[in-house]
């Protein structure tokens, strides 16, 4: 066994079973003399010569255990007199998913922004990206522990994170660009609107991008939710990074509005710093200075995280929670779980102190047209499926809705979807207190 593998394996079992973790044994062969416990049989996944090679990636279709896809081992469970032996290697299966192991094995499988495409992932190809299967494994193991007579806690209720990345809070007009906008609006709508000049003078609330009061009102309907606005670092790589805004004297007006609403601020890593993670500490320090608070939460612009370099740089800079782990091209469970989980570095198998919050749905994944081509009803159905699956296992909900794309979608589609998903969460978040 690799030296750091033990703590990662123990962590996964504790993640599922808490106090009952010592009732779950990870063994190489079926036990001769058994304790009253659940035994999980090891596959070859962690073995030298297998781990880290292309041979360690399972092929689809995957085998199913009680209706749940498993990545390694056989879909068989033996019920003996005093124990349960699971021949599916649920630990390696969970490890594979939560560490994003396949992204480490396939570093060249990236889109033009350097991101691993969800469509290339095993969960997508295996047809289970919309299911938090790691949480389903946990429920199954707990059910077996209960059958053995151990007390098991019912599935609880997770946290709700409503998050907003601020890429462009308002347009920073020059005299020339203000004239251009007025002319463009006139030719499009036949109406003369002079708001660009008012925005230029400091009336940033007049900008259609400035949807923060609406977001605050919408988020207020879920008072138990944690609301986070990710403030963009100063990195400026065109065209992915819009013009930096934190040093504008007008930013303090927006910051007060956000903080007064009870929201927290996090650090939105610029695309430039995403490309060169050595820039992360300085960028973070500037955002902290302007915001006047210590920041421990972060997310990459474009979700363009270069792991493990980004995660290591975040840890070194004092960040303790990352919210980047969703796919840009498909909604669902990039980490295989709906619950926040510590990052295991697949390079050295080390359990780190960085807590990853799974991102379930990003607005532009549904509405951007770049990734999915769905009609309104299909968007609602897909989003509700993902949210429902997270709520059913007592998981966390994390949504990402930008302030600045609302005017780009016809008929305020993004607003409609956001309001709908908030209602889905509000109406179903108490329904998960069910028994195992």
Name the minimum Å distance from CB 163 to Zn ion.
Answer: 11
- Judged by CB under 5 A, how many residues of this single chain contact Zn ion? 3
Q: Is 399 exposed, middle or buried (0-12, 13-18, 19+ CB in 10 A)?
A: buried
Question: Does the protein bind Zn ion through residue 357 (CB under 5 A)?
Answer: no
Name the minimum Å distance from CB 167 to Zn ion.
Answer: 4
Q: Figure out which of the listed residues 102, 130, 165, 363 binds Zn ion, where binding follows CB under 5 A.
A: 165
Q: Which of residues 73-112 bind Zn ion (CB under 5 A)?
A: none
Name the minimum Å distance from CB 367 to Zn ion.
Answer: 15
| Cβ proximity to Zn ion, 42 vs 115, nearer residue | 115
Name the minimum Å distance from CB 305 to Zn ion.
Answer: 12
| Residues whose CB is less than 8 angstroms from the CB of residue 203 and which lie 6 or more positions away in sequence, other chains included | 195
- Check if the beta carbon of residue 242 is closer than 8 Å to that of residue 167: yes
Name the minimum Å distance from CB 169 to Zn ion.
Answer: 12
Nearest to 371 by CA among 128, 161, 122, 120: 120
* Termini Cα distance of the chain: 33
Q: Which of residues 285-304 bind Zn ion (CB under 5 A)?
A: 301
| Cβ proximity to Zn ion, 165 vs 405, nearer residue | 165
Question: Does the protein bind Zn ion through residue 396 (CB under 5 A)?
Answer: no
Question: Does the protein bind Zn ion through residue 167 (CB under 5 A)?
Answer: yes
Tokens of 132: 């938090």
DSSP letter for each residue of 161-175: EEEEEES-SS----H
**Length of the chain counted residue by residue:** 436
Name the minimum Å distance from CB 53 to Zn ion.
Answer: 35
| Cβ proximity to Zn ion, 152 vs 215, nearer residue | 215
Candidates 105-113, 116-124, 160-168, 199-207; binding stretch for Zn ion (CB under 5 A): 160-168
| Residues whose CB is less than 8 angstroms from the CB of residue 305 and which lie 6 or more positions away in sequence, other chains included | 115, 269, 274, 311, 322, 324, 325
| Cβ proximity to Zn ion, 231 vs 313, nearer residue | 231
Candidates 165-173, 276-284, 344-352, 411-419; binding stretch for Zn ion (CB under 5 A): 165-173
| Cβ proximity to Zn ion, 42 vs 272, nearer residue | 272
**Which whole-number Å values give the CA distances from 250 to 205, 255, 290, 327, in the listed order?**
11, 9, 12, 33
Compute the distance between CA of residue 338 and CA of residue 397 in angstroms, rounded to an integer. 7
Residue whose C-beta lies closest to Zn ion:
301
> x/- contact string, 299-328, with Zn ion (CB under 5 A)?
--x---------------------------
Compute the distance between CA of residue 164 and CA of residue 215 in angstroms, rounded to an integer. 9
Backbone angle region of 79, left / alpha / beta, with phi > 0 → left and psi within -120 to 50 → alpha: beta
Q: What is residue 200's three-state secondary structure?
A: helix
| Cβ proximity to Zn ion, 5 vs 111, nearer residue | 111
Q: Which residues of the shown chain bind Zn ion in the complex (CB under 5 A)?
A: 165, 167, 301
């Amino acid at each position: 066994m690799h030296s750091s593998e033990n703590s990662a394996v123990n962590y996964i079992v504790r993640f599922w079973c808490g106090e009952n973790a010592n009732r779950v044994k990870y063994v190489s062969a079926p036990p001769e003399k058994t304790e009253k416990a659940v035994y999980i049989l090891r596959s070859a996944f962690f073995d030298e010569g297998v781990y880290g090679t292309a041979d360690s990636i399972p092929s689809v279709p995957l085998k199913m255990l009680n209706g749940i896809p498993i990545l390694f081992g056989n879909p068989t469970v033996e019920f003996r007199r005093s124990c349960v032996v699971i021949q599916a290697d649920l630990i390696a299966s969970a490890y594979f998913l939560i560490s994003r192991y396949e992204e480490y094995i396939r570093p060249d499988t990236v889109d033009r922004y350097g991101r691993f495409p969800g469509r290339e992932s095993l969960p997508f190809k295996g047809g289970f990206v919309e299911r938090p299967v790691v949480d389903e494994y946990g429920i199954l193991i707990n059910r077996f522990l209960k059958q053995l007579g151990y007390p098991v806690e019912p599935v609880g209720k997770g946290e709700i994170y409503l998050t907003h990345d601020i890429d462009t809070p308002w347009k920073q007009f020059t005299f020339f660009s203000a004239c251009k906008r007025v002319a463009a609006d006139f030719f499009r709508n036949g109406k003369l609107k002079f708001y660009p000049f008012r925005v230029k003078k400091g009336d940033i609330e007049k900008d259609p991008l400035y949807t923060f009061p609406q977001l605050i009102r919408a988020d207020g309907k879920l008072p138990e939710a944690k609301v986070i606005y990710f403030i963009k670092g100063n990195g400026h790589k065109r065209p992915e990074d819009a013009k930096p805004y934190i040093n504008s004297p007008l930013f303090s007006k927006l910051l007060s509005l956000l903080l007064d609403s009870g929201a927290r601020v996090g650090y939105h890593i610029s695309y430039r710093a995403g490309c060169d993670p050595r820039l992360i500490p300085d960028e973070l320090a500037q955002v902290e200075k302007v915001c006047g608070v210590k920041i421990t939460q972060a997310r990459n612009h474009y979700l363009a995280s270069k792991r493990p370099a980004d995660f290591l740089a975040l840890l070194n800079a004092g960040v303790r929670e990352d919210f980047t782990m969703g796919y840009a091209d498909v909604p669902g469970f990039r980490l295989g779980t709906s619950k926040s989980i510590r990052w295991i570095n697949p390079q050295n198998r080390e359990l780190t102190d960085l807590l990853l919050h799974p991102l379930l749905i990003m607005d532009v994944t549904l509405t951007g047209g770049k990734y999915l081509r769905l009609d309104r009803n299909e968007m609602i159905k897909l989003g509700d499926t993902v949210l429902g699956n997270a709520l059913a296992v007592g998981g966390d909900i994390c949504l990402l809705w930008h302030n600045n794309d609302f005017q780009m979608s016809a008929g305020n589609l993004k607003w409609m979807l956001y309001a709908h998903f908030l209602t889905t969460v509000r109406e179903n978040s108490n329904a998960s207190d069910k028994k195992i």
